[in-house]
A and B are shown apart, each in its own frame.
Chain A
Amino acid sequence: MLFLDIVHTGLASVLLHRLRSLVCVLALLAILLPYLTALGLSRGLEAEAESSARLGADLYVAGNQFGRMVPLPPDAEARVKQLEGVTRVVPRVVGEVFLGKDHQRAVLLGLPPSQFPAWSSTVEGELPRSGSVNELVIGTTLAQRLNLKIGSMIPPFYQNEQGERLSRVVGLFKANAPLWQANLILTTLDTAQAIFAQPAGVATDLLVWCRPGYEEAVARSITWLPSLGDQTGRGPVRFQVTTRQDLLVLLPQGLMHREGLFNLHFVLVFIIGILVFLVVSGLGLGERRREIAILKAMGWQTDQLLLRGVVESVALSLMGACLAFLLAWVWLRLLNGYGIAGVVLAGVGVMPDFQVPFRLAPIPLLLGFVLAFVIVGTGTVYSSWRAAIAPPRDAMR
């Protein structure tokens, strides 16, 4: 009962010192909002990256010359296909193209049309087929920047000695597909080869699927395949394999976000944290000191006064953490990362044309609360304790 009563006065004291509480919560927001937002984006991206690794092919095979990745000559596919444990090999062409008068960058991806399903829920419209025009599926940012719709025709944007063709937009990626669709052009393998003016059969890489458990054996076999022939007069090309595991190990482990923006953020936390500490322990200090001294003179014990301070800090931290979380959610979900997405994602404008990937999980929220409590709690409890251990008459003046 006594405990609850004191808890109650602790809650009331949040409203008693309005200015202090307000400054405290605002300062916590300044620390936690960027943290939760950036971490949310980073986690969302991580989840998408993991999906990309897990749902992609088992192995990615490319050519290697001078330690650099190079395209594979036409006979590569057949040589990989015959290895034991390989169930499917799909050649693909990936490259960069420039579209429109502003030279809009785009990633062009060509896959054999036999690989495409009849219909895909991430694409509005149709999937590309081989034919007399280049059929393209366009990402949301490209469509927006180049003002393309389904059915739009694109004049030739590439050079090919055999002649260039018109391109038609047959589909658009949906905005809720992963962010890498934004500047992607999906087309058929032969169209992609034509756009890059490459002979039929050339692929930038091969997607290889294996029987379960054979991935490592196949990767090893591919690495030790004899070099591919000297087609271009530039010497042999070796095979290079990237496995799914190679990709998965790149994902950051747990909470180790020490890179880029987070370094900056930790400096920010440090600076603002000290400021909050000073504000918390300094703002209205005289008034609070006197209040504590009066309660002490009226028979309150030091531990009871400290409990009151702890409750007040918990309430303020909880408020700061929850508000920061909700604002981060509003920013990322309702405002689609307006402003911040362009800062942390390369190639993205102020207002993203696709659904920004993010993931707001309980753990960062909990950490935010703990951080807030450490800052506010030490400030409050320390000043309360200082006031509470002095004789009431000293602290009252």
Chain B
Amino acid sequence: MALLDTHALCKEYRLSSGILIRALEEVSLAVERGSITLLTGPSGSGKTTLLALLGALDRPTRGTVRLEGVELTRCSDVELARVRRRMGFVFQDYALIPNLTAEENITYPLIPRRVPPAERRQRALELLQRFGMENRLRVRAGSLSGGEQQRVAVARALAGDPDVLLADEPTSSLDAETADFVCAVFQEFHHAGKTAILVSHDPRVVALATAVYSLRNGQLVPPPTAAPTASA
């Protein structure tokens, strides 16, 4: 059984002007355990929307998302929180809490995971050291540069030791060297037998993929391939 799968997933937005936007239409896919699944497609094709649905951050208009066979739309609020605690999310806009320090941004998600305070700080320190940011520990996230924020966002997603990593353009603001390093971290995550779902146009990230889904206008194009395409 696939770790995550969707069936006829639709997401529509109705604007206040009454216009209906179909962000996703009839998307059915399966994410295998231990895979690195890549979502590609042009801007506005629905990648972020799909990722949010897979990560239990949004409700579909129609269709289902299942994690290990359990339908997420049927889950209670508490169960959804439990699902989210198994995941690590890197947002396209980083979504750090600007008034918290880099360290706090990493430790706050660990609180509902019942990680003791000392270990929370230890993990934050280790992760920020790995990403070369140990001297930014006590800096407000809002005053970090874009690339720094992105690294904190990746560190935050990994801090909870997730089963599934969902990353939306995780290298978009990074220089080549740092992007390589982040890719190495993803690779290591993959080797630990965990599942990653990545949205990216970065060839370095694309090269990691074990499965690729392409989206266009909210629809999957053409039949999904099982292995990386020539773009690698």
Binding site for B on A (CB under 8 A): 1-2, 5-6, 9, 12, 16-17, 290-291, 294-302, 304, 389, 391-394, 396
Q: Are B59 and A391 in touch, CB under 8 angstroms?
A: yes
Contact of B108 among A9, A290, A389, A393 (CB under 8 A): A9
Q: Are A301 and B77 in touch, CB under 8 angstroms?
A: yes
Q: Are B100 and A16 in touch, CB under 8 angstroms?
A: yes
Q: Are A17 and B109 in touch, CB under 8 angstroms?
A: no
Q: Are B113 and A299 in touch, CB under 8 angstroms?
A: yes
Contact of B99 among A5, A17, A396 (CB under 8 A): A17
B121 within 8 Å of A (CB atoms): no
Given known contacts A294-B95, A297-B95, A301-B78, is B52 in contact with A393 (CB within 8 Å)? yes
Instruction: Map CB proximity to A onto B81-109 as digits: 1 under 8 Å, 0 otherwise.
Output: 11011000101000111011000100011
Contact of A301 among B52, B55, B100, B112 (CB under 8 A): B112
Given known contacts A2-B114, A301-B81, is B52 in contact with A294 (CB within 8 Å)? no
Contact of A391 among B57, B111, B113 (CB under 8 A): B57
Among residues 156 to 190 in chain B, which have CB atoms less than 8 Å away from a CB atom of chain A? 156, 160
B224 within 8 Å of A (CB atoms): no
A385 to chain B, nearest CB (A): 12
| Nearest opposing residue in chain A for B11, CB measure | A393
Q: Are A300 and B97 in touch, CB under 8 angstroms?
A: no
Given known contacts A301-B78, A391-B59, A392-B57, is B108 in contact with A295 (CB within 8 Å)? yes
Q: Are A299 and B84 in touch, CB under 8 angstroms?
A: yes
Q: Are A1 and B58 in touch, CB under 8 angstroms?
A: no
B117 within 8 Å of A (CB atoms): yes
Q: Which residues of B have CB within 8 Å of A9?
A: 108, 111
Give the one of A9, A16, A304, A392 with max B CB within 10 A.
A392
Q: Are A394 and B58 in touch, CB under 8 angstroms?
A: yes
B203 within 8 Å of A (CB atoms): no
User: In the complex, A295 Cα to B99 Cα: how many Å?
Assistant: 13
Q: Which residues of B have CB within 8 Å of A290?
A: 95
Q: Which residues of B have CB within 8 Å of A298?
A: 84, 89, 108-109, 112, 156, 160
A138 to chain B, nearest CB (A): 62
B87 to chain A, nearest CB (A): 8
Contact of A297 among B57, B77, B114 (CB under 8 A): B57
Contact of B57 among A2, A17, A295, A393 (CB under 8 A): A393
| Nearest opposing residue in chain A for B89, CB measure | A297
User: In the complex, A290 Cα to B111 Cα: how many Å?
Assistant: 18
Q: Are B111 and A5 in touch, CB under 8 angstroms?
A: yes
B116 within 8 Å of A (CB atoms): yes
User: In the complex, A61 Cα to B109 Cα: how many Å?
Assistant: 78
